[in-house]
């Protein structure tokens, strides 16, 4: 282990609060203590640093217990005018210096992080001034430095240097849940809803929320509206009505503008719709609801990873490197100099103010622009082209998984828009063998964006070699020229069977693609599969409820979660809920480990702990199953604590898909259709995957070689790199 470049660190949350900040604070505190640092918390942001005294508190391991699931920030946040003055910063520097603080982690927006950068730059002089004024003692040859790491706390997701900022995914959950709820009441009355979401200079929440909820029009600050935009909007909503849409949702970012650059009020949009089409139009301004509540699983994991990385960076680099922000880029932690991060983040707003909308969109990057294009395509009420490309068959196979429906919706519409004729097989391979093939039209998938399960029906039948000939006949009879299968390992194996027989069966000499959809997240060629995020959120919500039952009785819960032979869900649920122990199939369970764990449980409860969560992946061990572990621990707990077991079962699969899964599904689907078009005429068998930022199709046979058989999980799973973190925290 390298010697630490800092000795005492402070952590604060500042500016606008965002859900997930607590998880970041917890990770900073515990990682810092684990690495032997002294850790202080600064309450109420820069205000607390300036005031000092009781606002600065030394933190212990347990001072951050039970906060992971709480919204807002336990440290409080504030905006501080005094810190903008040199005098204010001098006071803050003196207060921190007195405690020996030489490193700081600031969780906040670009304002708060700029404050940190300035403090670090001025640190030596501020301290010299403070010493001259008698506020602190500083020897003449001392060369004090302050190491700074920022973490992006913003629900707007407007921060350069990170794919997601802390709080954005939770805010998206609020937006999408609200839109789903509005959709059901709007349908009953054929209403149009204008939903205003946060984002003064950033259309992320409106765009991603609109995409995930299946909105029918979006208005974002980065897009220049055409002079007659309102007529286009009205015409589009009217076309939708004629085609059978029962309601419409306009998703508007608060920073949307008229073509002349003036702010566009949501009430103005409502008046336009009311006057021009006589629609019963209502406005819902979502407001601070978006900031509130318990953080999503994604935000908890993100914050934990970034918090831990911030401490590592302080320890390894200290003040040797300039102040930097830790972000997540391509599913890996990445550092960006604060100066660059602030500059680039603010540049978008400047471009919008200057009327350079294309510049603003360019800065948002490709995937933002792709999403905007896709959303516009999806809001059509019919394809704009004739079918010229031949028949495409879509199958959902294996277990159904949340997010399959949004995937089908986007597959069908993007394919129709590319000139395919689209068909679906009912009930997976089983239905396909019985020739249950139905045409899918544009409006057939209306409303599927928010539905769980698969409207086509998925079937668990495993395809065998002797089925290949029959399927070939059916494909030939329906003149199927491309095949897309959405599903888990059963689907992948089925597709492989078909591909193996392509030489014997000319009807199988077509492009075939698999799209990963499984809550287990065990599929090859991809870091994420559709459904895993929903399942994880379902688990985490249930674990929160279990935690809420903590009472005077000391109690441990052993909670079994799904995953087959893959520990992804268990590991991530453990990370997101602060579980004490996690039992994974990748590691197995030994008697020795159980003895150790029981000993640790006893220690914890003796120290005053009231509740403990132990997560068991369903196939971690065939010997030590849920009941056995429960009984062993209960026996050993004696009078000190008792043990309950919970099998979360099928609730993990249910409910509407999470925003992350809906967006992932849409991205896979649209990339799959694009791939089919780009490789028209080729014969292949590939699977879609998201590795880092790259959305790509790889040869199925190559991808399957990544799998550890018979366990049906990746040989080198990326998530196991987080295992150490769960042990430390």
Residue nearest to ligand ADP (CB): 111
Gap between the Cα atoms of 649 and 396, Å rounded:
22
CB of 373 to ligand ADP, least distance (A): 30
Question: Of 85 and 184, which CB lies nearer to ligand ADP in the complex structure?
Answer: 85
Give the end-to-end CA distance of the chain in Å, rounded to a whole number. 18
Q: How many residues can be counted in the chain?
A: 729
Which residue blocks in 225-337 are alpha helix, DSSP H?
229-243, 266-277, 297-317
8 A C-beta contact, residue 625 and residue 645: no
Spot the catalytic one: 17, 102, 110, 156: 156
CB of 323 to ligand ADP, least distance (A): 13
CB of 114 to ligand ADP, least distance (A): 4
8 A C-beta contact, residue 19 and residue 33: no
Gap between the Cα atoms of 618 and 626, Å rounded:
8
CB of 129 to ligand ADP, least distance (A): 16
CB of 23 to ligand ADP, least distance (A): 18
8 A C-beta contact, residue 125 and residue 97: no
Gap between the Cα atoms of 333 and 718, Å rounded:
13
Question: Of 123 and 668, which CB lies nearer to ligand ADP in the complex structure?
Answer: 123
CB of 454 to ligand ADP, least distance (A): 41
Strand (E) or helix (H) holding 627? helix 626-637
Question: Of 111 and 318, which CB lies nearer to ligand ADP in the complex structure?
Answer: 111
Question: Of 75 and 569, which CB lies nearer to ligand ADP in the complex structure?
Answer: 75
Question: Of 323 and 574, which CB lies nearer to ligand ADP in the complex structure?
Answer: 323
CB of 167 to ligand ADP, least distance (A): 11
Summarize as ranges the residues that interact with ligand ADP (CB under 6 A).
14-16, 46, 79-80, 83-84, 108-112, 114-115, 118
Question: Of 118 and 310, which CB lies nearer to ligand ADP in the complex structure?
Answer: 118
Question: Of 49 and 573, which CB lies nearer to ligand ADP in the complex structure?
Answer: 49
Gap between the Cα atoms of 614 and 598, Å rounded:
11
DSSP helix/strand/coil, 583: strand
Gap between the Cα atoms of 515 and 507, Å rounded:
21
Question: Of 109 and 563, which CB lies nearer to ligand ADP in the complex structure?
Answer: 109
Query: Residue 544: is it exposed, middle or buried by C-beta count within 10 angstroms (0-12/13-18/19+)?
Result: middle
617 contacts: CB under 8 Å, gap ≥ 6: 560, 561, 563, 566, 567, 569, 570, 571, 582, 583, 584, 585
Residue with tokens 């006057």: 275
Query: Residue 124: is it exposed, middle or buried by C-beta count within 10 angstroms (0-12/13-18/19+)?
Result: middle
| Number of other CB atoms surrounding residue 332 within 10 Å | 14
Interhelix angle 659-678/168-189, rounded to 10 degrees, is 90
Tokens of 263: 């702010």
134 contacts: CB under 8 Å, gap ≥ 6: none
CB of 40 to ligand ADP, least distance (A): 18
Count of H helices and E strands in the chain?
A: 23, 24
| 639 is annotated as an active-site residue | no
8 A C-beta contact, residue 489 and residue 522: yes
Catalytic residues: 156
């Amino acid at each position: 282990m390298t010697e630490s470049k800092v000795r005492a660190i402070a952590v604060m949350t500042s500016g606008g609060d965002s859900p997930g900040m607590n998880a970041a604070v917890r990770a900073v505190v515990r990682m810092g203590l684990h690495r032997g640092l002294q850790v202080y918390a600064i309450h109420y942001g820069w205000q607390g640093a300036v005031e000092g005294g009781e606002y600065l508190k030394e933190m212990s391991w347990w001072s951050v217990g039970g906060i992971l699931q709480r919204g807002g920030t336990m440290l409080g946040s504030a905006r501080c005018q005094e810190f903008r003055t040199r005098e204010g910063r001098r006071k803050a520097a003196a207060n921190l210096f007195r405690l020996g603080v030489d490193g700081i982690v600031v969780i906040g927006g670009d304002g708060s992080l700029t404050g940190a950068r300035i403090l670090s730059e001025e640190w030596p002089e501020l301290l010299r001034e403070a010493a001259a004024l008698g506020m602190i003692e500083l020897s003449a040859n001392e060369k004090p430095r302050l190491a700074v790491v920022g973490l992006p706390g913003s629900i707007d997701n407007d921060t350069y240097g990170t794919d997601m900022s802390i709080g954005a995914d939770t805010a998206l959950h609020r937006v999408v849940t609200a839109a789903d709820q509005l959709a059901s009441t709007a349908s009953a009355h054929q209403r149009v809803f204008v939903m205003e979401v946060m984002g003064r200079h950033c259309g992320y929440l409106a765009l991603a929320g609109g995409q995930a909820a299946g909105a029918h029009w979006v208005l974002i600050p980065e897009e220049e509206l055409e002079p007659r935009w309102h007529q286009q909007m009205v015409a589009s909503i009217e076309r939708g009505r004629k085609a059978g849409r029962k309601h419409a949702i306009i998703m508007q970012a608060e920073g949307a503008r008229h073509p002349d650059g003036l702010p566009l009020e949501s009430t103005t949009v409502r008046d336009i719709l009311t006057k021009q089409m006589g629609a019963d139009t209502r406005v819902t301004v979502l407001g601070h609801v978006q900031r509130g509540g318990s953080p999503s699983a994604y935000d908890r994991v993100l914050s934990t990873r970034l918090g831990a990385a911030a401490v590592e960076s302080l320890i390894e680099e200290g003040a040797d490197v300039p102040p930097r922000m830790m972000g997540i880029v391509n599913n890996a932690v990445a550092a960006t100099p604060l100066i660059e991060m602030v500059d680039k983040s603010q540049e978008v707003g400047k471009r919008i103010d200057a009327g350079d909308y294309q510049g603003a969109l360019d800065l948002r990057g490709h995937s933002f622009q792709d999403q905007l294009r896709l959303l516009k395509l999806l809001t059509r009420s019919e394809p704009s082209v004739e079918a010229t490309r031949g028949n495409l068959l879509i199958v959902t196979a294996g277990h159904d998984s949340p997010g399959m429906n949004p995937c089908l919706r986007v597959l069908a519409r993007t394919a129709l828009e590319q000139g395919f004729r689209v068909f679906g097989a009912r009930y997976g391979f089983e239905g396909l063998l019985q020739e249950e093939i139905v045409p899918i039209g544009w409006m057939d998938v209306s409303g599927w964006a928010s539905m769980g399960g698969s409207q086509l029906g998925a079937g668990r039948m495993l395809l065998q070699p002797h089925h290949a000939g029959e399927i070939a006949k059916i494909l030939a009879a329906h003149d199927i020229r491309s095949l897309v299968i959405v599903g888990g390992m059963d689907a992948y194996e089925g597709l492989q069977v078909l591909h193996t027989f392509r030489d014997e069966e000319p009807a199988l000499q077509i492009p075939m693609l698999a799209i990963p959809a499984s809550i287990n997240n065990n599929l090859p060629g991809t870091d994420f599969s559709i459904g895993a995020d929903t399942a994880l959120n379902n688990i985490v919500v249930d674990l929160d409820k279990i935690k809420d039952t903590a009472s005077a009785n000391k109690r441990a819960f052993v909670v079994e979660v799904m995953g087959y032979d893959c520990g992804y869900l268990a590991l991530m649920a453990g990370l997101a809920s602060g579980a004490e122990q996690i039992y994974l199939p990748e590691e197995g369970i030994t008697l020795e480990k159980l003895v150790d764990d029981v000993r640790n449980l006893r220690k914890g409860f003796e120290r005053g702990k009231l509740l403990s969560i132990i997560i068991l992946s369903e196939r971690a061990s065939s010997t030590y199953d849920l009941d056995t572990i429960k009984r062993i621990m209960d026996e050993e707990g004696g009078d000190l604590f008792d043990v309950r077991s919970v099998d979360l079962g099928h609730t993990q699969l249910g409910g509407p898909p999470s925003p992350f899964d809906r967006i992932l599904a849409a991205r896979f689907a649209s990339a799959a259709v694009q791939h089919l078009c780009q490789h028209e005429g080729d014969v292949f068998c590939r699977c879609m995957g998201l590795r880092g930022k790259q959305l790509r199709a790889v040869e199925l046979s190559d991808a399957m070689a990544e799998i550890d058989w018979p366990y049906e999980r990746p040989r080198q799973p990326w998530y196991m790199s987080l295992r150490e973190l769960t042990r430390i925290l």
